[in-house]
């Protein structure tokens, strides 16, 4: 099984405009789509789209929390949750052509008691053949110390914890022994001096249309895997699709090189869709396999 952790879930709404966004203008013909979001839930949806079994792990509260859980379960993704005070947050993505504007509201606080409760639930059902992903921002009440405790607890109990975080939380995941961290270039550059070389961990830096850089235990010098060129409609969530696809292929015992290369293809097939982190499976079969150089 794959468990995808979202510390700060959100209901994501993508709105598609036919003209530039301007103050004071009413857009009464905009189309829209809604998805259960937060980076970890995007990861879970990608795994499910590829045909994998995944459990969404997170904190939920209020009307949006109930809606988020119902939407995930409607997609065939069971939820392992703890209740938080307040409500989950809302994410808005405004799309016009290939121009994207994101608005992310602040999540409600999560208590240390809720964090401990959910971690215990997950640790008790985690098995040695399972994989875990941790993605996204931290809500008020949680910190990099939370990440340290979660990764330190879960990594020895499963095949690997893969983390897509930023700032101190990213460093905490690496220092706690996550088998992989997967920041984008800006996230990595902000903490690069604090990421110590490791003989057992994988560092993957995502870089949009340029693809990824991969530094692993068997090659201390980074390798490049370019992304196939595709027409871009909405690039939001491509990194989450990449992580979900990577974990899906690792769970099916692909080598790291094979899994990373195929995950780049899957991520490319997601930016051609209008919604956040949706995969165009028909396009995927036509994309070339990217080389590793």
pLDDT, tens only, 120-165 = 999 999 999 999 999 999 999 999 999 999 999 999 999 999 999 9
Taking each helix axis from N to C end, the angle separating 39-49 and 62-74, rounded to the nearest 10 degrees, works out to: 20
What's the confidence (pLDDT) of residue 21? 77
pLDDT of 35 higher than 90:
no
Q: What is the chain's alpha carbon radius of gyration, rounded to the nearest angstrom?
A: 18
Mean pLDDT of the chain, nearest integer = 93
pLDDT of 262 higher than 80:
yes
What's the confidence (pLDDT) of residue 92? 86
Q: Which residues, including other chains, have CB under 8 Å from residue 28's CB and lie 6 or more apart?
A: none
Neighbours of 289 (CB within 10 A): 12
What's the confidence (pLDDT) of residue 293? 86
Q: In whole angstroms, what is the distance from residue 209 CA to residue 223 CA?
A: 16
- The closest of 69, 112, 61 to 89, measured between CA atoms, is 61
pLDDT digits (tens, 9 = 90+) for 90-116: 988 888 877 788 888 888 999 999 999
- Yes or no: say if 270 and 209 are a contact pair by the CB < 8 Å rule: no
pLDDT of 203 higher than 90:
yes
When pLDDT is cut at 50, 70 and 90, the band that residue 10 belongs to is very high
Ranked by mean pLDDT, the top range of 34-43, 124-133, 213-222 is 124-133
Q: In whole angstroms, what is the distance from residue 291 CA to residue 166 CA?
A: 28
């Amino acid at each position: 099984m794959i468990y995808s952790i979202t510390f700060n879930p959100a209901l994501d709404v993508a709105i598609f405009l036919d003209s530039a966004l301007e103050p004071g203008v009413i857009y009464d013909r905009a189309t829209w789509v809604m998805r259960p979001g937060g980076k970890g839930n995007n990861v879970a949806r990608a795994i499910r789209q590829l045909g994998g079994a995944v459990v969404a792990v997170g904190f939920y509260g209020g009307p949006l929390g109930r809606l988020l859980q119902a939407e995930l379960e409607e997609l065939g993704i069971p939820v392992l949750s703890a209740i938080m005070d307040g409500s989950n947050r809302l994410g808005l993505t405004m799309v016009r052509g290939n121009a994207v504007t994101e608005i992310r509201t602040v999540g409600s606080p999560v208590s240390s008691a809720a964090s401990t409760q959910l971690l215990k639930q997950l640790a008790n059902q985690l098995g040695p053949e399972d994989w875990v992903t941790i993605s996204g921002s931290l809500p008020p009440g949680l910190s990099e110390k939370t990440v340290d405790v979660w990764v330190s607890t879960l990594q020895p109990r499963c095949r690997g914890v893969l983390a897509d975080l930023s700032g101190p939380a990213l460093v905490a995941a690496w220092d706690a022994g996550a088998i992989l961290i997967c920041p984008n270039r800006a996230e990595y550059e902000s903490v690069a001096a604090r990421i110590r070389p490791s003989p057992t961990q994988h560092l993957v830096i995502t870089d949009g249309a340029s693809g990824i850089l991969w530094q692993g235990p068997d090659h201390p010098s980074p390798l490049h895997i370019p992304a196939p060129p595709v027409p871009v409609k909405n690039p939001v969530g491509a990194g989450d699709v990449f992580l979900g696809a990577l974990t899906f292929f690792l769970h099916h015992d692909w080598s790291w090189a094979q899994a990373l290369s195929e995950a780049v293809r899957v991520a490319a097939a997601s930016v051609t869709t209008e919604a956040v982190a949706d995969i165009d499976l028909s396009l995927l079969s036509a994309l070339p396999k990217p080389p590793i150089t």
